[in-house]
A and B are shown apart, each in its own frame.
Chain A
């Protein structure tokens, strides 16, 4: 009887140990979860503002596009373009100075 109980206890202990070992091994081998930073995408805040009656007119859409195009033209304009500066030339021949 005692032997039987001892077998049961030993079996239980062995089971617990096997379970513990198996759990530990799995934990070690399991690839660590890579936390990849998710890029915070800039999503436009859903506008609750209601569009006006002008917004759907073709004249409005044309004006909006034309102003955007004007804005691009202004931005791309270079005032101080040194590429076309005058050439640097030497003028006195330097015979008299020497």
Chain B
């Protein structure tokens, strides 16, 4: 009996790290959703207290407004930090990003986390409505930098996904080319000419994809704006280009499938 219990314990211990690692981003996402709910709740409480305070200006209303604003600001900070954690986990899981790119965006997130940690300490020292306004302004003035970092990281995540597919694309293309080269003698010159033309077109799609990716990377590294809306518009343009890059890979893959059918049969 003891041996069975020990065996079960060992199995549980061995399996725990595996399940923990694979569920990290999902866990971070669930935490983010929870923090978001809490933020909405605390924001609502604050809005009610603020209305009361601005209407009646009583000491009681002021105290309630101060308590709720501090609570909301703490939660706002936690929400942003949980979102940054989610992005970090998504970066860790992304298979297509290079180590350098991953480190670059992780550093960017780390800087924002440091800012939020300092901001959190300031919230703790708020003693009046005026203090709260001043401390909040610190985040307001920094928010565009934080927002740009978030948008850049989101683009990097999509780029990573595409790069992962592109690696597979290039690998498959090379394999196909080698297969055709090895069997050149078994194909008629006319068919070989068609095959060569199709191979060129498949390669062209990859080149077009690569050009688009470079365009996206440049735009992403320069992403900034005077307003959130301005940045959202730039981000939408990047997203459109990402979709076009994906489309090139999709078309190239379709061509590869056509080529496979072509070489499957005799002339």
A60 touches B243 (CB 8 A): no
**Bound state CA distance, A52 and B83, in angstroms?**
55
Contact residues of A between 50 and 98, Cβ < 8 Å to B: 50-55, 57, 59-60, 62-64, 66-71, 73-75, 77, 79-80, 83-87, 89-96, 98
The reply to whether A92 and B140 form a contact with Cβ atoms under 8 Å apart is yes
* Among A64, A86, A93, contact of B150 (Cβ-Cβ < 8 Å): A86
- Let me know if B213 is at the binding interface, CB within 8 A: no
Closest residue of chain B to A96 (Cβ to Cβ) is: B133
Q: Are the CB atoms of A71 and B165 closer together than 8 Å?
A: no
Give the residues in chain A near B85, CB-CB below 8 Å. Answer: none
Shortest distance from the beta carbon of A45 to any chain B beta carbon, whole Å: 14
Say whether, besides A73-B168, A74-B246, A79-B242, A51 and B265 are in contact (CB < 8 Å).
yes
Residues of chain A contacted by B250 (CB below 8 angstroms): 74-75
How many residues on the A side are at the interface (Cβ–Cβ under 8 A)?
40
Residue ID in chain A nearest B149 by CB atoms: A86
Q: Which of these binds chain A: B3-11, B103-111, B154-162, B218-226?
A: B154-162
A36 to chain B, nearest CB (A): 36
B82 (CB) vs chain A CBs: closest residue: A87
B188 CB, min distance to chain A CBs, angstroms: 11
Does A49 count as interface, using CB distance less than 8 angstroms? Answer: yes
Q: Which residues of A contact B140 (CB under 8 A)?
A: 91-92
CB–CB A89/B50 < 8 A? no
Instruction: Check if B90 is an interface residue, CB within 8 A of chain A.
Output: yes
Within the complex, the shortest CB–CB distance from B149 to chain A, in Å, comes to 10
- Contact of B198 with A by CB under 8 A: no
Chain B contacts for A87, CB-based, 8 A: 32, 36, 39, 79-80, 83
Within 8 A of A (CB), among B62-111: 69, 76, 79-80, 83, 86-87, 90
Known pairs A66-B172, A95-B129; A50 contacts B265 (CB<8 A):
yes
Q: Is B116 an interface residue (CB 8 A)?
A: no
Measured between beta carbons, the chain B residues less than 8 angstroms from A66 are: 168, 171-172, 175
The residue from A47, A59, A67, A83 contacting B253, defined by CB atoms under 8 A apart: A67
Query: Which A residues are in CB contact (< 8 Å) with B86?
Result: 84
Cα distance, A67 to B256, chains bound together (Å) = 7
B263 at the A interface (CB under 8 A): yes
Interface string of A15-33 (1 = CB under 8 A from B): 0000000000000000000
Query: What sequence of 0s and 1s flags, for each residue 219-236 of chain B, a beta carbon within 8 Å of any chain A beta carbon?
Result: 000000000000000000
Contact yes or no, A54 B90, CB < 8 A: no
The reply to whether B147 and A55 contact each other, CB–CB distance below 8 Å, is no
Residue on B nearest A80 in the bound complex, by CB: B239
Q: Are B133 and A93 in contact, CB atoms less than 8 angstroms apart?
A: yes
Contact (Cβ within 8 A) A51 B168: no
When the two chains form the complex, which single residue of A49, A62, A70, A91 contacts B139, counting CB atoms closer than 8 Å? A91
Given contacts A67-B260, A87-B39, contact A49 B266 (CB under 8 A): yes
Does B43 make an interface contact (CB < 8 A)? yes
Q: Which among A57, A73, A79, A95 is the interface contact of B133 at CB below 8 angstroms?
A: A95
How distant is the Cα of A95 from the Cα of B126 in the complex, in angstroms? 15
Question: Smallest CB–CB gap between A93 and chain B, Å?
Answer: 5
**CA–CA, A64 to B36, complex, Å?**
46
Nearest residue (CB) in B for A91 is B140
**A70-B172, A95-B53 known, 19 other contacts, Cβ within 8 Å:** A47-B265, A49-B266, A50-B266, A57-B179, A60-B179, A60-B260, A63-B172, A64-B264, A68-B257, A70-B169, A77-B162, A79-B158, A79-B162, A84-B157, A87-B79, A89-B79, A95-B54, A95-B129, A98-B50
